[in-house]
C-alpha cells in the first residue's frame, strides 16, 4: 500500500529525535494496530449478521439490561442511595459482555470502525442500528412486565424514577445528559476493546454502570426500559410521555458516541499504515454479503 501524504510509517513512528528506534513507541503503535484490527473484525461481524442473529442478540440485550435495572431497583429500594444502586446496575452491563448480546449504543464504535475499513456498507449499519434498537426495547418491555408483577413494592420507585426522565424539559440540561449518556456508553466499548483481560472488562462495566445509572444520565434504551416498568406497574406514565422524551434522546446519544468518541478513534486509526486510502475498495467477500 502506498503511503498517504502526512501518514507515518512504522519506522517513522518508532524513531526518536536522534533517528534511533524507540522500543516503547513501537510497542504502543503495535498495541494500537492490534486494537484497531480487533475492533474492525468485531464490527464487521456485527454488520454481516443474519436477521435471526440480529433479532436474538437484540432481544437478549434488552433482557440483560433489565437484569441491571432489577439490581438497581433492589439496592435503591433498600438504601435510597442512587450511587450504590448505579454500581449494582453494572450487573446488566457485565451480563451483556459475558453473553455476547447486543446493545443499540454498542453500534456507535465497532460497526463504524468496520465501515471505515471498508468492511461493510451504510445500509448494513442502518439495519443493525434499527433492528437492535427495536429488539432491545421489546426485550426490555417484556422483562419489566415480569418485574412489575413480581415486585409490586417497586411500583412507586419505578414511577418516581421514570418521572425524572419524562418530566425533564427539553433544554440545555436534558441535551447535556443525553450527550453524556452516549459518550459514557461508547467509552465503555472503547475500554473493553482496549484490553484482553476479562477482569478489567468487568471492572469497566461496573464503572460505567455507576456513571450511567448512578448519575441518572439519559440513555435511550436503559431509561426506556425503566419507563416501561413504570407503565406496567402503576400506569401513571404513558407511552406518549415516553415518546416525547425518547425522540430527542436517541439522536443526542448518537451525537455523544459518534462525535466525541468514535470520531476521535477514527482520527487515530487514520494514522495507521493499513488505514484505507481512497483507492481501497470493499473486498469481494464483503460485497457478496
**What is the distance between the alpha carbons of residues 92 and 97, in angstroms, rounded to a whole number?**
9
Judge whether residue 12 has pLDDT over 80.
Answer: no
Q: Which domains does the chain have, with CATH numbers?
A: 32-275 (1.20.1080.10)
User: Sorting pLDDT into bands at 50, 70 and 90, what band is 260?
Assistant: very high
pLDDT tens readout for residues 145-194: 999 999 999 999 999 999 999 999 999 999 999 999 999 999 999 899 88
Judge whether residue 25 has pLDDT over 70.
Answer: no
Least confident of 23-27, 78-82, 127-131: 23-27
Mean pLDDT within 34-43: 83
Judge whether residue 5 has pLDDT over 70.
Answer: no
User: For position 16, what pLDDT does the model report?
Assistant: 53
User: Sorting pLDDT into bands at 50, 70 and 90, what band is 17?
Assistant: low
Judge whether residue 112 has pLDDT over 70.
Answer: yes
User: Sorting pLDDT into bands at 50, 70 and 90, what band is 283?
Assistant: very low
| C-beta separation of 134 from 127 below 8 A | no
User: Sorting pLDDT into bands at 50, 70 and 90, what band is 11?
Assistant: very low
- Quote the distance between the C-alpha of residue 264 and its chain's center: 16
Least confident of 8-17, 130-139, 201-210: 8-17
pLDDT tens readout for residues 220-251: 999 999 999 999 999 999 999 999 999 999 99
User: For position 24, what pLDDT does the model report?
Assistant: 52
* Nine cell digits for residue 49: 449478521
User: Sorting pLDDT into bands at 50, 70 and 90, what band is 267?
Assistant: confident
Amino acid at each position: 500500500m502506498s503511503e498517504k501524504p502526512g501518514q507515518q510509517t512504522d519506522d517513522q513512528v518508532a524513531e526518536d529525535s536522534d533517528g534511533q528506534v524507540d522500543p516503547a513507541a513501537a510497542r504502543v503503535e503495535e498495541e494500537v494496530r492490534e486494537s484497531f484490527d480487533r475492533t474492525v473484525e468485531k464490527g464487521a461481524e456485527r454488520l454481516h449478521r443474519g436477521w435471526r442473529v440480529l433479532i436474538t442478540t437484540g432481544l437478549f440485550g434488552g433482557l440483560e439490561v433489565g437484569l441491571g435495572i432489577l439490581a438497581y431497583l433492589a439496592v435503591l429500594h433498600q438504601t435510597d442511595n442512587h450511587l450504590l444502586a448505579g454500581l449494582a446496575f453494572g450487573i446488566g452491563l457485565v451480563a451483556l459482555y459475558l453473553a455476547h448480546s447486543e446493545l443499540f449504543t454498542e453500534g456507535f464504535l465497532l460497526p463504524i470502525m468496520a465501515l471505515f475499513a471498508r468492511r461493510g456498507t451504510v445500509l448494513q449499519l442502518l439495519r443493525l442500528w434499527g433492528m437492535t434498537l427495536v429488539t432491545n426495547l421489546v426485550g426490555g418491555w417484556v422483562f419489566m412486565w415480569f418485574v412489575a408483577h413480581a415486585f409490586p413494592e417497586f411500583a412507586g420507585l419505578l414511577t418516581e424514577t421514570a418521572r425524572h426522565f419524562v418530566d425533564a424539559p427539553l433544554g440545555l440540561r436534558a441535551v447535556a445528559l443525553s450527550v453524556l449518556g452516549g459518550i459514557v456508553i461508547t467509552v465503555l466499548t472503547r475500554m473493553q476493546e482496549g484490553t484482553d483481560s476479562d477482569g478489567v472488562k468487568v471492572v469497566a462495566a461496573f464503572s460505567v454502570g455507576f456513571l450511567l445509572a448512578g448519575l441518572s444520565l439519559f440513555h435511550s434504551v436503559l431509561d426506556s426500559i425503566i419507563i416501561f416498568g413504570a407503565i406496567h406497574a402503576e400506569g401513571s406514565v404513558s407511552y406518549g410521555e415516553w415518546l416525547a422524551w425518547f425522540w430527542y434522546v436517541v439522536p443526542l446519544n448518537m451525537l455523544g458516541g459518534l462525535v466525541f468518541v468514535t470520531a476521535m478513534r477514527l482520527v487515530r486509526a487514520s494514522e495507521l499504515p493499513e488505514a484505507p486510502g481512497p483507492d481501497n475498495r470493499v473486498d469481494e467477500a464483503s460485497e457478496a454479503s
